[in-house]
Amino acid sequence: MEFRPCIDIHNGKVKQIVGGTLKDQGDQAAENFVSEQNAPFYAKLYQSCGIRGGHIILLNAKDSPYYEATKSQALAALEVYPGGLQVGGGITAENAHEFLRAGASHVIVTSYVFRDGKVDYDRLEKLVQTVGKEHLVLDLSCRKKAGSYYIVTDRWQKFTDECVTEELLDRLAGYADEFLIHAVDVEGKASGIEGELTELLGKWNKIPVTYAGGIGSFVDLEELAEKGQCHLNYTIGSALDLFGGNMKFEEVLKFSEKLL
């Protein structure tokens, strides 16, 4: 159970947003925090603390007027900490190598491997052939609908028909080194974790999974450790003091060390 830091970039700035409010139209999102520091600042900090496996997420669509500024921030962070960070947001088989060459340890992919609401296994196999399973993280971020968790794509705006189940995780694990899963309905709210989802993921435990969403206190972290059976890596965003929250970065690192 490791702490995996994040660098979320929107409109060319490092931000923490409320996940369910992200809109491509007008590049809008409800903001919890907009940093005065750039992405390389956070990359250097994570490197200095020896934290690996964090993720950079580009939150603008490729046709956004802000995309190039957002991408520039991401590439600069990768250059600062080569091999230490993963990157996601608009990744395809065609552009994945650009980010790996820039220093990403893994590329994180969601929307590219879905078509008409289903997993497109031809695209998934093409990605594996292009970058290698060892460099691929599948983002299975999800929202609850009709009592189940469904994967959402296109910066969490579109529901797919794919429900997060042990059977789906089993199938997709053959294509990926890790999973990244944001519980989108609580993402950016620091209001508590999605217990049902973390229980499912912790019970499964076949390849590394990073959970993000709703962690707002050390009580939430203890609950995550219990329900996830200490099997889930975790990300803390807006609740972290680095991003304007109350959870001290140093204390979070100590919590992680205690569980190792």
Tens of pLDDT, residue by residue, the chain (260 residues):
999 999 999 999 998 876 566 666 666 667 778 889 999 999 999 999 999 999 999 999 888 999 999 999 999 999 999 999 999 999 999 999 999 999 999 999 989 999 889 999 999 999 999 999 999 999 999 999 999 999 999 877 899 999 999 999 999 999 999 999 999 988 777 789 999 999 999 999 999 999 999 999 999 999 999 999 999 999 999 899 999 999 999 999 999 887 76
Backbone angles phi, psi at 202, to 5 degrees: -65, -35
Cα dist. 45→20, 28, 125, 222, 249 in Å?
28, 28, 35, 25, 11
175: amino acid identity, one letter: Y
Token pair of 250 as six digits = 């140093």
CA of 40: how far to CAs of 43, 125, 134, 175, in Å?
5, 32, 25, 30
Using an 8 Å Cβ cutoff, are 244 and 33 in contact?
A: yes
The structural domains of the chain, ordered by start, are 6-259 (3.20.20.70)
Alpha helices by DSSP H, listed for the chain, are 39-48, 67-80, 96-101, 121-131, 166-173, 195-204, 218-227, 249-259
Give me the pLDDT at residue 260, please.
Answer: 61
Q: What is residue 15's predicted lDDT score, i.e. its pLDDT? A: 86
Residue position matching structure tokens 């890596």? 233
Residue 65 carries which DSSP code? Answer: T
